[in-house]
Amino acid sequence: MKIINNIKDLRDYLHQYRSQRIAFVPTMGNLHAGHLSLVRHARQNADVVVVSVFVNPTQFTAGEDFERYPRTLETDSKLVEKLTDILFVPTVSEMYPNGTNESTKVIVSGLSDILCGSFRPGHFGGVTSVVTRLFNAVQPTVAIFGRKDFQQLLIIQQMVKDLLMPIEIIGLETCRENDGLAMSSRNGYLKPEERSIAPYLYKNLLEIKEAILNGERNYPPLKEKAMNALSKIGFTPDYISIRDRKDLSVPTVKTPIEEIIILGAAWLGSARLIDNLEISSQ
């Protein structure tokens, strides 16, 4: 594995592989088993694998955890060294040479303004802006993301389509702990007592799914019940929402249940947890 810190060296090194299939896995580091599943999929489906580690300041909104976000580059490097050809670790000045406030921004309107976007204004604009930069630096054939960040996945897919980027976007299933908690770097913020109740976000989504599969189509009471249940055990919910997974629009009673996704975001102590569950009649 070769570690590269600047875009020119990255492009120069990748030039020899342009005729091959290049897979890219962008991360903010502090890697866990969920990240590694993405990298393994890349390794199995491409000739060259590039993983980036970059804690992007423009996707953190005011008062969020940019300064304390865990930075574990040495450990991350060891985790991916046998799966990755290139570990790209740029600095903030490399990615934003004119400064973060003066840089060009890439915004996917609509999808970026709802759900997590309404609670974290500007967040998704920071994501799409940095992912565009990373895509232009790596110029991959395929990029791989997790479906835990489902809204982000849809936004990136829309961005690639709108900007005519010749990149295939793959979303892989959420990796979970044994108790159902979706794996996340921010799980490390949880205190022991918080960690014990954290899986209840997923359990509430499962209860909504079961109700829908059993024929319930009056969605607002399902959401309210889940929000109240989470609040009672110590969460501070941002939202529980039932949406059409194609475009995150609000479903109607005529929307096929196979097209429905349940999404949730809630604070537990200093950790903001997100999760989702796609409905299937299987």
Catalytic residues, which ones? 35
At residue 227's C-alpha, the angle toward residues 197 and 147, to 5°, is 70
265: left (phi over 0), alpha (psi -120 to 50) or beta: beta
What 8-state DSSP symbol labels residue 171?
A: E
Tokens linked to 254:
């005529």
Say if residues 200 and 228 touch (Cβ distance below 8 Å).
no
Yes or no: say if 159 and 133 are a contact pair by the CB < 8 Å rule.
no
Closest CA to 190 of 200, 223, 227: 200
Instruction: Report the b/e string of 225-239 with b at 16+ CB within 10 A.
Output: ebbebbeeeebebbb
Residues 6+ apart with CB under 8 A from 265: 115, 116, 119, 237, 238, 239, 272, 273, 274, 275
Q: What are the φ/ψ torsions at residue 259 (nearest 5 degrees)?
A: -100, 10
d(CA 169, CA 95): 22
User: Do the bridges between strand 48-53 and strand 22-27 make them parallel or antiparallel, or are there none, so unpaired?
Assistant: parallel
